[in-house]
Amino acid sequence: MVNHHPFTDKFSLHGKTAIVTGGVGILGRRFCSGLAEFGAQVAVVDLDEQAVSGFAAELQKMYGVKALGVGCDVSSLTQVQTMIRKVVDGLGGVHILHNNAASKSENLEAFFAPFEDYSLEQWREIMAVNLDGMFLVAQAAGKQMIAQGSGGSIIQTSSIYGIVGPDQRIYEGSKYMGRPINTPAVYSASKAAIIGLTRHLSAYWAHYGIRVNNLIPGGNESGQNDQFITRYSARVPMGRMGQPDEMVGALIYLASDASSYVTGQSLIIDGGLSVW
C-alpha cells in the first residue's frame, strides 16, 4: 500500500525515547508534553524526584506513552551516569536528548547582582549547571547513542541572550515574581557557550548519525510585571513576548526525522527580536 502521509510520518516519534532535563520547569513541562503527544517515551529529569515522578505519571495517563521520572543534579557526574542507566533500563534506550536544564540559583540576590560586584562563587555555581551540566549530559547520552548504533538527535536549549546582548533599558522598573531583575553576564556567557558546544559536537558525532542542534527561545511570558512585558514587546517586530507552547513545534522538528539533514544549527524562536 502506498504511504499517503510520507511527510506527516517524518514528525512521528513513536518507538523513540526522549530525555528532557529541566523537565518540570515552565518550558520543560510543555516540551515533555509535546514529545509525548508525538509518540515518544519520555524521561522527565529534574532535581525534585517527587515532582518528576508525578509529572511522568500525568504524561502516561494523558498521552498513553511510557514515561519515567528521574531525579538528577546535572552538574554531578555520578548522578548523570546513574540517570542514563535508569532511562536505558526503564525505557530501553536513548534516541532523543533535550538538554534543557538551567539554573537561576537559590540566592537571587547573588544571581542578579551587578557585574562589578558579581562573586566568583555565584559565577561557578551557575556555570556548573548551565554549561558543565550540558557537557555531562550530552557526553553520557551521546555515548549511549553511539553504543546503540542507530544515531539520535540532541537538542540543546540556549537563549536569545546567547546571541544578542540584553537591552538594559528593558529592565528599568522591571520585576519578576515581584523582585527587580536583570540578565546577568553569567547567563549570557553560559548560553553563548552552549552554541559553541553544539557546533563542535555536531561535527564530532556526525559520522555516528547523531545530530546536534540548538533551540534558542526568545523571552516568554512567565511572571514578569507589565512594565517588563511592555518594554520587551516593544523590542520585538511581532510586538509581543512568546508563549511556552510556541517553543514546542521547533523541538518536535529538531527531534524528529523531519530535520534528518539538519545539524549544527540554531533555531531561533524570538518573534524577530534578533533581526533588529
pLDDT tens-digit profile, the chain (276 residues): 667 799 999 999 999 999 999 999 999 999 999 999 999 999 999 999 999 999 999 999 999 999 999 999 999 999 999 999 999 999 999 999 999 999 978 898 999 999 999 999 999 999 999 999 999 999 999 999 999 999 999 999 999 999 999 999 999 888 877 788 899 999 999 999 999 999 999 999 999 999 999 999 999 998 788 999 999 999 999 999 999 999 999 999 999 999 999 999 999 999 999 998
Residue tagged active-site, from 187, 204, 208, 261:
187
Domains of the chain: 14-270 (3.40.50.720)
pLDDT of residue 272: 98
Grid coordinates of 272: 524577530
CA 123 to CA 266: how far, in whole Å? 25
> What angle do the packed helices 120-127 and 185-204 form, to 10 degrees?
40
pLDDT of residue 195: 98
Per the listing, cell 514515561 goes with: 67
pLDDT of residue 23: 98
pLDDT of residue 1: 61
CA 99 to CA 152: how far, in whole Å? 13
171 annotated active-site = no
Could you tell me which residues come within 8 angstroms of residue 228 by beta carbon, excluding any fewer than 6 positions away?
Answer: 170, 171, 174, 175, 176, 181
Other beta carbons within 10 Å of 87: 26
pLDDT of residue 2: 67
